[in-house]
Structure 1
């Protein structure tokens, strides 16, 4: 089914929308072929009217290039076996994704990649990262940790010295 979506005009696929129609189709007793037809038609219509119409062609093209570069940079961070696997896929579509309550205001994209054929889809999500909500507390926590760690090191060293002095542990000069 994913292969049939890849060639549709304009970019942008909403996985949640597609899955919703598949689930509804199953519940309604539609065959796999009927569900595939409904999903393709719905997604094509949605793409053409909603997702990319919000951006002028020049911005859309620039954004697609940016997302592609982002995924290429991501691939370089993967372990060799995973990078090899990802390299077997090609980006065929992407869309902006609406994110959950905790991420309101952040940009999020989902990319459809296809492997050996249209029956081998892979979805990757790229999400904008802001500073952690814990960042204001990090410096204080790091200082506290460093102090506690140093204290523990001093206690451990003293316990070792005491153990050597009392003969519980033997020590030899190097």
Structure 2
């Protein structure tokens, strides 16, 4: 946990054996609630931001922009807050209030878009991206937008921090 702001705690979740009374083979589970935001998505958020930093798509002063309404937003807000990146979240007003409050508590700028009928399956356009609007709420000092890579942008990467840490746990080390 020595890394800046608790980032070292991400993925450092215990591996626990379940006692099923002999009804099944050995069953082991990772206690993901031990991550800083209580979600396994902390791993993904940290991996996305660090991948964007490594390949130069994200640099200090740039803003991370994401459409989300749940645990991914809370996890990104935590990682961005610790690393010093402004975060712009565009979300639907149909998502849970506690998730939106958590994102804001970590410092994210959250824009809520009305979702007719309360559906979360439609991705509405944020105000700064609608036709006829001037300006851009997410403009960085360099004048461009930064967004972390999606997991699909890393084809062929099947073994990342999540799987290697789980393997380390299975061999008796805490990961």
| TM bucket normalised to smaller | under 0.3
TM-score (norm 1): 0.23
Which has the larger Rg?
1
Q: Comparing both structures, which one devotes a greater share of its residues to helix?
A: 1
